[in-house]
Chains A and B, each alone.
Chain A
């Protein structure tokens, strides 16, 4: 059994070598070109077959503010954020105090020794190491920009020596990265060796080591946003309308890039897709709804503030029954909140978006693999259910590269366009009522504009209308329609992804429900709790509306922890509201400071809040 965080907790200075299980954090200045160096480091570790979890902690700023890159190295494969730092690469004087404070006792501070560390920062319980990066750079490079950029590669060189990264791994990665610009390969390699040589000649060995393992397998290292975008391509999306907003911007940009590669007509060179940067989120969702109404698969990607702006249109999509897909890459709210921090705090505003009685299906991917799958599935669901489908990811999944299972697709899979009456159907004289529930599942047939010369045309509107799309404010007609929409929502239960259950080794009255980016930390916490003799059954929710299985699980446990990353327990509120669950059964475990939730936090919360339950549950 590999080491887990519980064993490491409270560990202080020692002399034992720690292999493949530590956290290294890079503190940089935004805009200094550190990202590619840090990413190079992360990839080196992966190429050694050692799993990592990497997270950007960045400001809402382009240049000058502090930014961090945290790499958790875990041969055991724990991909949640651990908390704590074992090696701090402190390249930003502005955050020195904070950075030095976060280092665990007995661990390491790496800094640019060109300038001595201010005595006020000194801690006698940590090891201070470093290299005169600026001095070497200034001696080597004349151009100020090069001095800045190569300083980053130099510390990677130094770390490579200290931790044990083979040089050929670095070489291969640089060759792949700069295949198109061979000049840069040598320049980077040169800087890398400058750092490495210095460390070799002048630095003492440290206790942290990387050692080749075979624990990565065929897994890929990718951002959730890019995965969602790729899912949208495989899901047949042809129209993307979006408005730049952190943390969703890279989703639209990735869609454009993927489409360019995969959706350009080989003969004509023309695009089998259209991407429009809207003037705002309202226009973006408007374009999506216009395209969806007209039979194209369309989506927008946004974050909380965008969802707020889209409310009116989402209501239209619900009531007029127009397919749309919204990727909500959640960030810290409310208002502008913490634009570059993560949260799961849009559940309520998405689930019940818009005025009046509305409910919208949501999908909760837990990693980029699911981002891809659900990104494609969302379009089938939108067409099947003729409504807005939310894919609820967050900044943590969206903007960080995660180690996850490779994307998989079966050739021959067809787009499910849902209930559409064709020209032939209409020509055959089949009765067409746009809001006529012929199958009893609440889903009605639609026609695409222009389908038939004289049949199937109807007037789409956000006002109340009868089964044949004729304007009506008659109470009975209105309630008939609203009841059918409920039936449709009920049908959605069986269409959204089913929850995933993980049972404890022993029968237990304790359960936990969680979703999305909480998943890796949750798995680690369950493991830690088990070591403490605390057994919990776990249910990962993947879709809304909740299936019966979710409520059966809650009923089968005396105390159910609802772990989520917001202040108000939004998933818990949804469970109470939609399933009539008694609030006392659901114990909230809430993490909402904007950083990704950690296993340490969950473990402590659950251990602390566990009620003493004498009796085992009767049913399971």
Chain B
């Protein structure tokens, strides 16, 4: 909604990361979403995460489908290529882009309409294939751009702004992602950057299909009394199982003396996830246990957040396809075109 350009001025003491960029250098255009939209906070969290990981913006590709959430890639990482594709089909476009160049980081941003309804199939299959990506669903339980219809993640009994009660069972994207074999699964809340930023950093560092279900209240259509996706409701029912601190390979591991239970997870690429546990008996490396725990807590009306599952030794789609190390889009004529004599042999075999 804001139409003026965001001032270029920045805090005089704004820090630079190892690449010499400030956090502001990772911004995109000013958001056109409604004031107070949770999605904008997620964009800010992505900016913060990428900044903290010292990534070069042009090494990231932003992919999205259609809907409020899918507009957001225009609002972060302005120096990255972005692709706002068609409704519900971001996962396939991302899969193709990833096949073409395995060296970039793929950030898929989608919504609950885009991924739980029209694109449920593509969501499922991209996770199944283990595409190396960060898949964030900005989950507000409502169709914002078409003014407030229930989405497939709306809880049964949730009341719309117009007073209609939702009778359909909700789709739990986290449960699906776990079942489908995602190797990094988290849930968070747009209003809690302390939890969300490290979770995104961990997902970026993760090699394999990383999925984050991020509750993101819709201020315009789903932030009222009776909604189960409002700021107040989510805050009241949020049960964080842990907080994450991502340390890249370069940084030394400092043990946090204050933490009661600390789990350190070394990822495939050498990065380290440091988990500060809140529920000491929650084990994020146990997929089956995570599924059982989540089902149980969901029945109790809790929204379990945190890093819910991680397989630090995960493989990705390229590993399964055994593709060459060099990105396919860099292979030249020399590498791709067989010789005329090879063709002669084929001809001979067809006579």
Chain A, range 230-289, C-beta contacts under 8 Å to B: 230, 233-234, 236, 238-239, 241, 262-263, 265, 268-276, 278-280, 282-289
In the complex, which residues of chain B have a beta carbon less than 8 angstroms from the beta carbon of A286? 85-86, 89, 91-93, 95-96, 122
Q: Does A432 contact B (CB under 8 A)?
A: no
| Given A230-B346, A457-B58, CB of A276 within 8 Å of CB of B82 | no
A221 touches B100 (CB 8 A): no
Chain B, range 319-351, C-beta contacts under 8 Å to A: 321-325, 328-329, 331-333, 335-340, 342-344, 346-347, 350-351
8 Å CB contact of B97 from A273, A278, A294, A463 = A294
In the complex, which residues of chain A have a beta carbon less than 8 angstroms from the beta carbon of B339? 409, 411
Most-contacted residue by chain A among B94, B97, B125, B335 (CB, 10 A): B97
Q: Does B249 contact A (CB under 8 A)?
A: no
- CB B335 to nearest CB in A, in angstroms, measures 6
What 1/0 mask marks residues of chain B from 90 to 116 whose CB sits below 8 Å from any chain A CB?
Answer: 011111111111011000000000000
In the assembly, what is the distance between CA of A457 and CA of B122, in Å? 26
8 Å CB contact of A461 from B79, B84, B101, B350 = B84
In the complex, which residues of chain B have a beta carbon less than 8 angstroms from the beta carbon of A233? 338
Chain B residue at minimal CB-CB distance from A376: B337
In the assembly, what is the distance between CA of A241 and CA of B74, in Å? 28
| Given A316-B85, A316-B86, A408-B343, CB of A294 within 8 Å of CB of B80 | no
In the assembly, what is the distance between CA of A281 and CA of B146, in Å? 27
Q: Does B301 contact A (CB under 8 A)?
A: no
- CB B109 to nearest CB in A, in angstroms, measures 13
Q: Does A450 contact B (CB under 8 A)?
A: yes
- CB A115 to nearest CB in B, in angstroms, measures 38
In the assembly, what is the distance between CA of A263 and CA of B338, in Å? 8
In the complex, which residues of chain A have a beta carbon less than 8 angstroms from the beta carbon of B323? 270-274
- CB A468 to nearest CB in B, in angstroms, measures 13
A279 touches B125 (CB 8 A): yes
Chain B residue at minimal CB-CB distance from A462: B86
| Given A239-B100, A274-B321, CB of A290 within 8 Å of CB of B58 | no
A449 touches B61 (CB 8 A): yes
Q: Does B284 contact A (CB under 8 A)?
A: no
Chain A residue at minimal CB-CB distance from B78: A457
In the assembly, what is the distance between CA of A262 and CA of B73, in Å? 39
Q: Does B283 contact A (CB under 8 A)?
A: no
What 1/0 mask marks residues of chain A from 285 to 310 whose CB sits below 8 Å from any chain B CB?
Answer: 11111111111101000000000000
B92 touches A291 (CB 8 A): no
In the complex, which residues of chain A have a beta carbon less than 8 angstroms from the beta carbon of B344? 406
Most-contacted residue by chain A among B83, B98, B318 (CB, 10 A): B83
B58 touches A236 (CB 8 A): no
A449 touches B97 (CB 8 A): yes
In the assembly, what is the distance between CA of A233 and CA of B125, in Å? 26
8 Å CB contact of B100 from A294, A313, A447 = A294
- CB A254 to nearest CB in B, in angstroms, measures 11
B122 touches A262 (CB 8 A): no
B96 touches A270 (CB 8 A): no
Q: Does A222 contact B (CB under 8 A)?
A: yes
A411 touches B340 (CB 8 A): yes
Q: Does A441 contact B (CB under 8 A)?
A: no
8 Å CB contact of A291 from B99, B331, B347 = B99
Q: Does A452 contact B (CB under 8 A)?
A: yes
A238 touches B58 (CB 8 A): no
Q: Does B172 contact A (CB under 8 A)?
A: no
B322 touches A271 (CB 8 A): yes
Q: Does B129 contact A (CB under 8 A)?
A: yes
A282 touches B89 (CB 8 A): yes
Chain A residue at minimal CB-CB distance from B83: A460
Chain A residue at minimal CB-CB distance from B64: A461
How many chain B residues touch A (Cβ–Cβ < 8 Å)?
A: 60
Chain B residue at minimal CB-CB distance from A449: B81
Q: Does A414 contact B (CB under 8 A)?
A: yes
A241 touches B96 (CB 8 A): yes
Chain A residue at minimal CB-CB distance from B102: A274
B85 touches A459 (CB 8 A): no
In the assembly, what is the distance between CA of A448 and CA of B330, in Å? 10
- CB B130 to nearest CB in A, in angstroms, measures 12
Most-contacted residue by chain A among B63, B95, B329, B339 (CB, 10 A): B329
In the complex, which residues of chain A have a beta carbon less than 8 angstroms from the beta carbon of B95? 241, 276, 283, 286-287, 290
- CB A284 to nearest CB in B, in angstroms, measures 8
What 1/0 mask marks residues of chain B from 122 to 147 whose CB sits below 8 Å from any chain A CB?
Answer: 10110001000000000000000000
In the complex, which residues of chain A have a beta carbon less than 8 angstroms from the beta carbon of B121? 279-280, 283
Q: Does A410 contact B (CB under 8 A)?
A: yes
In the assembly, what is the distance between CA of A447 and CA of B61, in Å? 13
Q: Does A551 contact B (CB under 8 A)?
A: no
Chain A residue at minimal CB-CB distance from B129: A276
In the complex, which residues of chain A have a beta carbon less than 8 angstroms from the beta carbon of B101? 294-296, 448-450
Q: Does A413 contact B (CB under 8 A)?
A: yes
In the assembly, what is the distance between CA of A39 and CA of B85, in Å? 46
Chain A residue at minimal CB-CB distance from B321: A274
- CB A121 to nearest CB in B, in angstroms, measures 39
Q: Does B59 contact A (CB under 8 A)?
A: yes
Q: Does B315 contact A (CB under 8 A)?
A: no
Q: Does B56 contact A (CB under 8 A)?
A: yes
B81 touches A460 (CB 8 A): yes
In the assembly, what is the distance between CA of A220 and CA of B346, in Å? 9
B96 touches A289 (CB 8 A): yes
In the complex, which residues of chain B have a beta carbon less than 8 angstroms from the beta carbon of A236? 331, 333, 336-337
A293 touches B83 (CB 8 A): yes
A415 touches B84 (CB 8 A): no
Chain A residue at minimal CB-CB distance from B326: A272
A290 touches B93 (CB 8 A): yes
Most-contacted residue by chain B among A262, A286, A406 (CB, 10 A): A286
Q: Does A454 contact B (CB under 8 A)?
A: yes
In the complex, which residues of chain A have a beta carbon less than 8 angstroms from the beta carbon of B94? 290
B96 touches A290 (CB 8 A): yes
- CB B198 to nearest CB in A, in angstroms, measures 25
B89 touches A293 (CB 8 A): no
B324 touches A268 (CB 8 A): yes
Chain B, range 282-325, C-beta contacts under 8 Å to A: 318, 321-325
8 Å CB contact of A460 from B59, B84, B322, B331 = B84
Chain B residue at minimal CB-CB distance from A416: B333
In the complex, which residues of chain A have a beta carbon less than 8 angstroms from the beta carbon of B89? 282-283, 286, 312-313
What 1/0 mask marks residues of chain A from 370 to 410 whose CB sits below 8 Å from any chain B CB?
Answer: 00000000000000000000000000000000000011111
In the complex, which residues of chain A have a beta carbon less than 8 angstroms from the beta carbon of B85? 286, 289-290, 316, 462
In the complex, which residues of chain A have a beta carbon less than 8 angstroms from the beta carbon of B81? 447, 449-450, 457-460
In the assembly, what is the distance between CA of A263 and CA of B336, in Å? 7
In the assembly, what is the distance between CA of A598 and CA of B104, in Å? 53
Q: Does A608 contact B (CB under 8 A)?
A: no
Chain A residue at minimal CB-CB distance from B334: A414
In the assembly, what is the distance between CA of A234 and CA of B103, in Å? 25
A282 touches B328 (CB 8 A): no
In the assembly, what is the distance between CA of A136 and CA of B80, in Å? 73
B92 touches A270 (CB 8 A): no
B351 touches A293 (CB 8 A): no
In the complex, which residues of chain B have a beta carbon less than 8 angstroms from the beta carbon of A216? 351
| Given A272-B324, A415-B333, CB of A220 within 8 Å of CB of B86 | no
In the complex, which residues of chain B have a beta carbon less than 8 angstroms from the beta carbon of A271? 321-324
Chain A, range 441-476, C-beta contacts under 8 Å to B: 447-454, 457-463, 471
Ordered by A's residue number, 27 sampled pairs between the chains whose C-beta atoms are within 8 Å are A218-B347, A268-B324, A270-B324, A276-B321, A286-B122, A287-B93, A290-B92, A290-B97, A290-B100, A292-B96, A292-B100, A293-B96, A294-B101, A295-B101, A295-B329, A312-B89, A406-B344, A407-B343, A409-B340, A413-B333, A414-B333, A447-B81, A449-B80, A450-B81, A451-B58, A457-B81, A462-B85
- 10 residue pairs, one from A and one from B, having the closest CB atoms: A290-B96, A286-B92, A296-B100, A449-B81, A295-B329, A287-B96, A294-B100, A290-B93, A291-B96, A220-B350
| New A-B pairs, 11, CB < 8 Å, besides A271-B324, A287-B99, A457-B81 | A239-B100, A262-B338, A272-B336, A274-B328, A286-B91, A286-B96, A292-B100, A294-B97, A298-B96, A449-B97, A459-B81
